[in-house]
Every structure is written in C-alpha cells, then in structure tokens.
Amino acid sequence: MVHVLEDWPVDRGFLSIPRSLAVNTKRFPNKIAVNDPNDQVTYLELDRKVNQVTHGLRELGIEKGHHVAVLFGNSITHLIALYAVARAGAAAVVLDLKWKAREVLRAVQAFDCELLLYDGAFASVTPEILQAMKFGGFAFTDASSPLIDGQPSTEFHSRTRDEDLFMIMLTAGTTGTPKGCMVNHRTYAVQCMNSAIGRGCSEYSKELSVVPIYYNSGRSTVLAHIFFGGTVYLRNKFEPRETLDLIQREKISSLGLASTMCHRLLQFPDLESYDTSSLRALRKAGLPFTRKMVEALIDRVTPNVYQGYASTDAGQATFLRPEEQLLKIGSSGRAIWAAEVDVVNERHDPLPAGQDGEIRVRGPNVCQGYYKNPEEQKKRFIDGWYYTGDVGRFDDDGYLYVVGRMKDIIKTGSINVAPKEVEEVLLFHPEVTDAAVVGVMDPEWGESIQAYVVLRREHAIDETGLIKFAKEYLADYKAPKRIRFVADLKRNDLGKLNVQVLEEHCKP
C-alpha cells in the first residue's frame, strides 16, 4: 500500500520556537542555557520558568491572536517572556528599551498590543501606557512577577503550529512609526538554521551577546544558540575589559560586535594580553567592517571573522566567510543555502555582474509581510520577492557588494554617488575614526556631497587636506564639497546613524 504525505499524522508545531526549548530540556536538562549578570539557568530551569509564565498568561486570557509587548534588556527574563508568549500561542512585539514613554505608547497602539511584560526598572512605563491595553501590564524583577506567583511549572502543551505568528519585529519606517515584520515559527526556525549552517553554531557553542536582543541582529543569534542547545551569555552593554575577560574565562566561541564596538576593542591597550583563541565566529552586527578593521581583527583578535547581508525583514541572506574576508574586501559574500538573492533594474529584470541595481531576496527566511501597512507591503513584496531598497552589485564569482540605500543615493550633477563609497575612503585616513556622508541641496549641482567626520586628534587635518586626500582615491565629483568636523556621530547600538540629527545639521 502506498501512502501519500497527507495520510500521515504530522506534528504541525515541529518547527515552533518553544518546541526547540522543550526538546533541548530533555537533551540537556542540567546544562547552563543562559547566563546574565544577575543569574544563570539550566535548560530545565528555563523551561520550568517559561511554563509558569505561560500558565499565568493563559489564566489571564492570552491566547492565539493576541499581541504581547515585551520590554526588557539583555536578561534571562527577556527570554522567558519571549518563549512564554509563544508557548501561549500569542505573538510578541519586542520594544526598544531606550524608548521614551511616548514612543512606547505609539508602538503598543500601532501593533494592537493587549498586554505589556516589562522590566520593573524601566521608568518610562506610565499609567497611560498600561491603560491603553486590555490586559494591562506586569513588571518582572529577576524572573519574579505577580503574573506567575503560585503558577505550576509543569509542562504546558502548546498547540502552536509552524505557520502561526511568532513575532512582530520592528524596523525603521519612513513615517516615524516602525514597520512591523510579521514572522511565523517556521520562518524564524529557518533563520536559526541559517545561523547554524553559516557560522557553525551547535550544542557546543557559547554565544556572548553584548548587542541588544531587542534588535533582531542580537536576538536571532541568541535564539539560534538555544535552538541548537548551546549556552548564551547576555550582557547589557559592551565593555572591552569585561568582554575579553568573559572570552578568556568562559571560552566564548561566538560573538557579534557592531563596528563602533570593534573600534573600542581594538583601541583597548591590554588587548594582546588576553587569550581569544576560543572564538570560532566574530561576526559583524549592523554596519559592515571597513578593510582596516577586518585586517586588525584578523591580526589581533581572531581569524574567524564573518560578515554578511541581512535585514529584519529577510533574515540572513548572504555570508562572507573567514577565508574570504581579505580576498573579497567590501563584499557581503554569497547567498546562503535558504536564500535567493538578485540584483535587478527598475523593471525588475535581473542584472549581470558589475551593474548596480536593487537587491531583492526570496526564500523561507523572508518574513510574511508588514502588519497593517499595505502601502509598504505592496512596495516591498512583489511576486514572491522581498525588495530591500538597498543598492548592490554582484561580481563575476557571485559575491554581493552592497553600495547603499536607494533613498540615500546622492544625485550630484545628474550622476549617482553612493555615500558608503565616500565614507570608506574617508575612514581610510589614519586620523579619521568615524565618517558619515549625506547629500545637501545645491543650486548648481542639485545635490552636493557633505561629510561629517570625527578625528582621532582635534585639528589633526583640516577640511582642505581631507578633501585632497579623498580625491586621491575618488573621482573629483565623488569627493566631498564640504566637511564638518564633529565630536561624535550619534549612532545606535548597531552603529547606525541617527539620520534626523544629521538632517538637522544639514539645514541651511
């Protein structure tokens, strides 16, 4: 007798995120799952705490179709909340811990959140926020909360399916309100598998996360390590000495750093005195590393440097592996196993190697679209492809080079210039520690190129000298017309610029 697939009973929650925790609890009950500055828990302890919160959520009335806002830093309670919301069948909406009360209120209303789980130390949770939600909110302190007092730690049998909504992940929007990327359990599981295959994550891995896990860049790698039974160390901020101490003492194997963090690490005077040989993956989180930075990291920290192209909307799409870093400087690597990546023109026709166009991605790693945002949905999700809004090109070997954002391209004298290319040249100067390039209105050129530069030493070089330096590596039309020297460029934890601050500087 021949059976077709549909005849067989199928566990429709096989790839659900909370199921991976339950599986690894059986495999590694006494193994440390998560360590933070205040506590650590084994897989068994983590699973029991998640069960307690899940029972509390269900008793409250939280179930499939509900959205629960989550507001924590890098802590065990953050992960307990994520797994419990998923196990209860609801979807988490993770908020930025640095937001003010107005920003939190705007987000919980925009994404129809009916409950808030938050760190008890977060002062910006106001009565107005809690009153805006059907079930109010519950504060957690060291995994303790009125929500779970007296709740059993027995297994909660979740009926979550792979196609159920796991999370609404927030990413920058053009109107000031974040876009909500809807991602189901299957897609997030594929993103976890991408991390494992791409960087060798396994049950033997030890991940140190100093990148905020309220950003998906940090969260996806942390959940990938738990997905495969590794151990995660969470820290709320990056400090070179503490990071190096942990790497050496705990034999950390995986670490993600933003470019600004790498700069601080490389400036740390005692760097060479620490043993970093356990590192099997030092990956970029946020903006790409410069050539200078890659060479210094390989020489002074670890040869196992990884870069790639990723977004909240599409997960990891490409990887540049350690052995390729110096051979393909500036590249984001080749497409990962679960992703297709194209570069296309305005008619959506694939372009040959060497030609710039919009990067698009498709595959099981791409999110299911935007929550209540049909305009952006229509613009970005077309015929099964996600159109990223990024400009890039392939080389003859199939390696992707990201030029910049389409909206950031500067059109000067009818010629397109990518800010990233100019920034990379400025950063090549030994006295420049940071640089950002923007286009400003110009009556003659339409737009002219303006740079904001942070120097290692004040007055080490002047505007004329730095423009002359840029012209040694760039066509004259690409070189900045004006340079403003500033003490600091306001970047977030992933190294991304506060564009609004720059735009204020740009006003005539």
pTM of the model: 0.84
State the DSSP string of 80-103.
HHHHHHHHTT-EEEEPPTT--HHH
Tens-place pLDDT, residues 272-308: 999 999 999 999 987 788 888 999 999 999 999 999 9
Domain ranges of the chain: 5-25+39-184, 238-406, 409-506
State the DSSP string of 380-432.
HEETTEEEEEEEEEE-TTS-EEEEEEGGG-EEETTEEE-HHHHHHHHHTSTTE
Same fold, 5-25+39-184 and 238-406: yes
Rounded to 5 degrees, what are φ and ψ at 472?
A: -70, -20
Between CA 127 and CA 260 the distance in angstroms is 36
Between CA 409 and CA 416 the distance in angstroms is 6
pLDDT band at 10 (very low <50, low <70, confident <90, very high): very low
pLDDT band at 501 (very low <50, low <70, confident <90, very high): low
SS3 125: coil
Computed over every residue of the chain, the mean pLDDT equals 89
Residue 296: enclosing H or E segment and its boundaries? helix 291-300
Tens-place pLDDT, residues 27-43: 999 999 999 999 999 99
**How many CB atoms lie under 10 A from the CB of residue 1?**
3
Between CA 185 and CA 496 the distance in angstroms is 28
Measured between alpha carbons, how far is residue 150 from residues 49, 341, 469 in Å? 12, 50, 68
Measured between alpha carbons, how far is residue 132 from residues 57, 105, 198 in Å? 18, 8, 42
Least confident of 52-56, 205-209, 258-262, 364-368: 258-262
Bridge partners, residue 115, by sequence: 68
CATH of domain 238-406: 3.40.50.12780
Least confident of 75-79, 218-222, 275-279, 472-476: 472-476
Tens-place pLDDT, residues 228-242: 999 999 999 999 999
Tell me: domain 5-25+39-184, CATH 3.90.1150.10, correct? no
Between CA 364 and CA 339 the distance in angstroms is 7
Query: Over the range 82-95, which residues count as b (16 or more CB within 10 Å of their CB) and which as e?
Result: bbbbbbbbbbbbbb
Query: What CATH fold (topology level) applies to the domain 409-506?
Result: GMP Synthetase; Chain A, domain 3 (3.30.300)
Q: Which residues, 6+ apart, have CB-to-CB distance to 23 below 8 Å?
A: none
